[in-house]
């Protein structure tokens, strides 16, 4: 398997999902995992094998596309139609590709596992971010 192939136009938050608004600090596409940089307060792409602990963190999933300095809304928790084909019952994690999301089977040595959520159907991800803080 590989990272989810996300159709950005199909990324939609579910009713009651927890969101947060801020500013992009990089070019971000809807459906990508982001962290909030403490130096400038902007959202940037998360990366599971980054040498920097903050970059390995996940604040949420982008709900819209944005370039550096533009407004960005992220989903922090709740149901998300991710715009990709999922396997129901599978856990999905932060990938070692910046902003990517992958199934648990794709985690590799050197990755710092961060659970993004579990697929409740073939299109909906129940986002509940949980960072392990340890490398595989």
What six digits make up the tokens of 23? 């500013």
- The mean pLDDT value for 102-120 works out to 94
The band of 78, judged by pLDDT with boundaries at 50, 70 and 90, is very high
The pLDDT value recorded for residue 1 is 53
The pLDDT value recorded for residue 125 is 98
Mean pLDDT over each residue of the chain, to the nearest integer? 96
pTM of the shown model: 0.95
Instruction: Tell me the C-alpha to C-alpha distance, in Å, between residue 26 and each of 8, 30, 46.
Output: 16, 13, 11
As a dihedral over the C-alpha atoms of residue 59, residue 97, residue 94, residue 12, rounded to 10 degrees, the angle is 70
Which letter does DSSP use for residue 28 in this model? Answer: B
Whether the predicted pLDDT of 92 surpasses 70: yes
Contacts of residue 45, Cβ cutoff 8 Å, sequence gap at least 6: 26, 28, 32, 33, 34, 35, 98, 99
Residues 124 and 52: their CA atoms lie apart, in Å, by 30
The pLDDT value recorded for residue 136 is 87
Q: Between 47 and 134, whose confidence is greater?
A: 47
Contacts of residue 51, Cβ cutoff 8 Å, sequence gap at least 6: none
Whether the predicted pLDDT of 133 surpasses 90: no
Residues 58 and 112: their CA atoms lie apart, in Å, by 11
pLDDT digits (tens, 9 = 90+) for 1-41: 589 999 999 999 999 999 999 999 999 999 999 999 999 99
Fold held by 8-131: Virus Head Decoration Protein; Chain: A, (2.40.300)
Whether the predicted pLDDT of 105 surpasses 60: yes
As a dihedral over the C-alpha atoms of residue 5, residue 10, residue 16, residue 19, rounded to 10 degrees, the angle is 70
Portion of the chain with pLDDT greater than 70, in percent: 99
Cβ 131 vs Cβ 125: under 8 Å: no
- The mean pLDDT value for 105-118 works out to 93
């Amino acid at each position: 398997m590989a990272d989810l192939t996300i159709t950005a136009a199909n990324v939609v938050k579910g009713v009651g999902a927890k969101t947060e608004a801020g500013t992009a600090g990089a070019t971000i596409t809807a459906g990508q995992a982001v962290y909030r940089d403490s130096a400038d307060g902007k959202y940037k792409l998360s990366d599971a094998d980054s040498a920097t602990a903050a970059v390995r963190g996940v604040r949420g999933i982008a709900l819209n596309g944005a370039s550096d300095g533009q407004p960005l809304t992220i989903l922090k928790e709740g149901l998300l139609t991710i715009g990709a084909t999922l396997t129901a019952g599978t856990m999905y994690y932060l990938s070692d590709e910046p902003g990517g999301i992958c199934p648990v089977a794709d985690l590799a040595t050197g990755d710092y596992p961060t659970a993004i959520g579990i697929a409740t159907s073939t299109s909906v991800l129940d986002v509940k971010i949980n960072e392990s803080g340890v490398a595989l």
